Structure 1
Amino acid sequence: MNTALVSGLIILVLLIIMLIAGVPIAVALGVSSVCAILPIMDLNVAVLTGCQRIFSGISVFSLLAIPFFILAGNIMNKGGIAVRLINLAKLITGRAPGALAQTNILANMLFGSISGSGTAAASAMGSIIGPIEKEEGYDPNFSAAVNIATAPTGLLIPPSNVMITYSLVSGGTSVAALFMAGYIPGILWGLACMLVVYVIAKKKGYRAKTRFTASEAGKIILQALPCLLLIVIVIGGIIFGIFTATEGSVVAVVYSLLLSLFVYKSIKIKELPKILLDSAEMTGIIIFLIGVSSIMSWVMAFTNIPELVSTALLSVSSNKFVILFLINIILLIVGTFMDMTPACLIFTPIFLPVCTALGMDTIHFGIMMIFNLCIGTITPPVGTTLFVGVKVGKVQIETVFRQLLIYFAAIFVVLMLVTYIPNLSLWLPKLMGYI
């Protein structure tokens, strides 16, 4: 039997068994990868090589951006930034149908992009806007569905840790180019959901009850301006080559800390150890996953598994559009039971060679993959953002999921546009000279 097929089956079967048994994903990845190489390599050599791959996989300078962006996000979550962004979003949406729900969407896009976390956005925005919507007569299930459906937009709108992970595993795709490429798809996701909200809100008669005076509007803008400057400083600095993504992550930490401690005064010094500890725990999980996934990447390359998958897909059809559609469906299914980081680490080496063989740019593929996996965060059974949104909204998952279906349809349309219109992802990177 073909070596690649044997190794691939061993990885697949062992991974599924261990995940069902509740084995941590990092351990499952490492064990299944080492076992997959045993038919052609001695156990001692396989284990030693696996250890070497872990250390070489995490000995990458660009990975330092991940812990710093995580720390910056945790500081922002505690730093009163969410309230100020919500007020700004309320000002922008005005008195449009479903203005509070529209505010939720816009605030998710702003806060998610600043914090780099869909779950943080769902938690912060749902807990603040949800009660206000309830007071104004909004159906709690409708409110929760809107919050859940749009929380992942910040994972596409930079800065985004999963983009940094993809950059590493794809062989050094430009982080700055990926950051630029995520803007239009992320904004389109939000706009598609805003259109759905507009139609539903008009039908149900949801309208805003708050008007802002000129002085109130000016105060809201001034309060939110320092938050927005974070995006300008960090992303602008990376784009224009003032500093790298790694250095930009440190700038984000320093800026958000100064903002929270001395401008908004919403964090106390005694709270910092807890924030640092939470950030360290999250960093440890992600970095260990990246290290262990390096074993799987090596096994796949050594046994030619990506070539096997490529041949299998191309045997189904030679049509580029059909193959890309199949890859989307596979990634959507994968996203329903696997977190974004391990899914990105596992499936990038498998599908990237197929897509590049079809003439697809690595940046375009990265955005397509991340878009798919973002949808997985709001889909059961392992949709972390879905469960956070349900908990914060104090609703039942069954009733919310029914209302989410129309948003899934809108998001899927955007996914197809992103997949089949490369310039939606590549126009900004080209404009900035990254391609």
Structure 2
Amino acid sequence: MGTVTLMLFIILLVLVILQVPIAIALAAASLLVVIIEGSVPLTLFIQTSFSSMDSFPLIAIPFFILAGDIMSKGGMARRLVEFIQSFVGSLTGSLGVITIIASFIFAAISGSGAATVASIGAILIPYMLKNGYAPGYAASLAASAGGLGPIVPPSIVFILYGVMSGTSISDLFISGIIPGILVAIALVIVNFIICKKEGFGRNEEKAVLEAAASSVEKEKVSFWKALNDAKWALLAPVLILGGIYGGIVTPTEAAVVAVVYSLIVCIFLYKEVTLSGCLEIFLQSARTSGSILIFVSAASFFGQVLSIERIPQFLAEAISNLTTNPLIILLLINIFLLIVGMFMETVAAVLIFVPLLLPIVLPLGIDPIHFGMVVCLNLSLGLITPPLGINLFIGSNIANIPFERTFKYVLPIFGALLIVLLIITYVPSITLFLPNLIGG
């Protein structure tokens, strides 16, 4: 690496330390280096920024975010929880199991980890606290279950990875189903062990959640009544994913369908979103979507500068000189991404590092779909690892506890998910089974 490359990373590091937003830091560092070096025209910034946004698959991101916000505010998340409560019952740690299953289903609607924690956690964490769960554990479990968002289709992170790598987004979506189930199973096992050991939820009742809306009766609800109430919410992931894999719609078109469907259900059927209330939801979604798309623009220019400075080639040569064993290389990449996830937001990490890492793994015969799953699962663990740990921050805020009180319970959860990560990393057939089955 030359002086210019070193300068690029030093400027970026200084800006990050000064708490400059990462998107602005990426663009500013790249622009300063281009100005100082003088060999690249400044018009490259404008060209790259616009060309990076000129992508049909990227349109899916704001629509999936909007659909998730509508479903969260419109009562779909609450009805999912009530339905799962109706058949899980009073098993050991049943509220934890409900949290995990509800997060899995809601992730298949919203595609966002943070949205899943905010929606499901806001309902279940208060109820878990009333039933004797430690606040740190309630926050940790909801945060960890929210980590299913980047894994379970339709994942926003998969969309970004597909755009950056040129991989089929539909194949990426379906590849996340089995790994997502494995993560959910691991969380259920850990939940059972911790609840048994700590004695959480011994007096749990099979009741409708008090933390829901005031219109919900505080009485036992039959499975069939809960199913009837939740039928429109349960139909959402079937409609979205069925449309994609049935060849009826593309992932981008499915995102639009999700928005239209959620508006119809929440305004006219559930009647929990008013037409005037839609404005607030649209503004919230616009803010979230705008921040992500600014990331895309800035990271694309940053990646262009890295390519000009031959950083991907340097990294590939450095790792190749160290080892040519794909198993060891995958292990090194896992360690690297776990560290990255501790300090960098998921979207930024995908946009910055996927273009750097793909040239390293593709010559080794590693399938880009499998590698995408490895990348997304690594970064989803970053959602529950400090110092960033955005899901933990959301969970601890809902539980009204200091961030640090979650650490005791996050460690065993993180350990279980790490085992799942290693299994998925070294058994690629788990990820590729469904894409090969449908594609073949």
TM > 0.5 between the two? Answer: yes
In the alignment, is residue 280 of structure 1 matched against residue 293 of structure 2?
Answer: no
Distance apart, 1:5 and its partner CA: 3.9
Distance apart, 1:23 and its partner CA: 1.4
From 211, 227, 234, the equivalent of 2:233 is 227
User: Residue type matched to 2:437 in 1?
Assistant: L
Distance 1:396 1:40, change over 3 A: closer
Is the partner of 1:154 in helix, strand or coil?
coil
CA distance in 1, matches of 2:284, 2:192: 38
Partner of 1:267: 273
From 163, 174, 184, the equivalent of 1:180 is 174
Distance apart, 1:215 and its partner CA: 7.4
In the alignment, is residue 210 of structure 1 matched against residue 216 of structure 2?
Answer: no
- Is this contact kept in 1: 2:140–2:406, CA < 8 A? yes
Distance 1:359 1:408, change over 3 A: same
From 31, 39, 52, the equivalent of 1:34 is 31
Partner of 2:379: 373
Partner of 1:255: 261
Distance apart, 1:136 and its partner CA: 2.1
Q: 1:92-103 to 2 correspondence within 5 Å? A: 92-103=87-98
Partner of 1:195: 189
Partner of 1:151: 146
Partner of 2:365: 359
User: Residue type matched to 2:375 in 1?
Assistant: M
Partner of 1:303: 309
CA distance in 1, matches of 2:19, 2:311: 26
User: Residue type matched to 1:175 in 2?
Assistant: I
Is the partner of 2:42 in helix, strand or coil?
helix
Partner of 1:414: 420
CA distance in 2, matches of 1:397, 1:215: 35
Distance 1:60 1:214, change over 3 A: same
- Is this contact kept in 2: 1:5–1:308, CA < 8 A? no
In the alignment, is residue 107 of structure 1 matched against residue 107 of structure 2?
Answer: no
In the alignment, is residue 294 of structure 1 matched against residue 277 of structure 2?
Answer: no
From 47, 62, 68, the equivalent of 2:63 is 68
CA distance in 1, matches of 2:193, 2:126: 22
In the alignment, is residue 57 of structure 1 matched against residue 52 of structure 2?
Answer: yes
Is the partner of 1:156 in helix, strand or coil?
coil
CA distance in 2, matches of 1:248, 1:282: 19
CA distance in 1, matches of 2:220, 2:287: 45
CA distance in 2, matches of 1:163, 1:224: 27
- Is this contact kept in 2: 1:69–1:249, CA < 8 A? yes
CA distance in 2, matches of 1:268, 1:363: 41
CA distance in 1, matches of 2:229, 2:246: 27
Distance apart, 1:300 and its partner CA: 2.3
CA distance in 1, matches of 2:378, 2:101: 21
CA distance in 1, matches of 2:282, 2:221: 38
Is the partner of 1:266 in helix, strand or coil?
coil
Is the partner of 1:335 in helix, strand or coil?
helix
- Is this contact kept in 2: 1:7–1:37, CA < 8 A? no
- Is this contact kept in 2: 1:153–1:187, CA < 8 A? no
CA distance in 1, matches of 2:323, 2:34: 30
- Is this contact kept in 2: 1:65–1:247, CA < 8 A? yes
Partner of 1:335: 341
5+ residue gaps in structure 1?
Answer: none
CA distance in 1, matches of 2:50, 2:128: 49
TM-score (norm 2): 0.93
Partner of 2:79: 84
Distance apart, 1:125 and its partner CA: 2.1
- Is this contact kept in 2: 1:114–1:154, CA < 8 A? no
- Is this contact kept in 1: 2:89–2:205, CA < 8 A? no
- Is this contact kept in 2: 1:10–1:35, CA < 8 A? no
Distance apart, 1:8 and its partner CA: 3.3
Q: Which is further off, 275-284 or 249-258?
A: 275-284
Distance apart, 1:9 and its partner CA: 2.1
Partner of 1:140: 135
User: Residue type matched to 2:241 in 1?
Assistant: I
| Post-superposition CA distance 1:70-107 (Å, at most 9, x none) | 11111111010111111122234233211111111111
CA distance in 1, matches of 2:137, 2:20: 36
CA distance in 2, matches of 1:270, 1:56: 35
In the alignment, is residue 398 of structure 1 matched against residue 393 of structure 2?
Answer: no
Q: Which is further off, 186-195 or 118-127?
A: 118-127
Is the partner of 1:155 in helix, strand or coil?
coil
CA distance in 2, matches of 1:360, 1:41: 38
From 314, 327, 332, the equivalent of 1:321 is 327
CA distance in 2, matches of 1:209, 1:426: 41
CA distance in 2, matches of 1:214, 1:387: 33
| Post-superposition CA distance 1:342-391 (Å, at most 9, x none) | 11000001111111122111111111111111111111122211100000
- Is this contact kept in 1: 2:100–2:142, CA < 8 A? yes
CA distance in 1, matches of 2:95, 2:414: 20
CA distance in 1, matches of 2:240, 2:405: 40
Q: Which is further off, 131-140 or 223-232?
A: 131-140
Distance apart, 1:62 and its partner CA: 1.6
From 112, 117, 139, the equivalent of 1:117 is 112
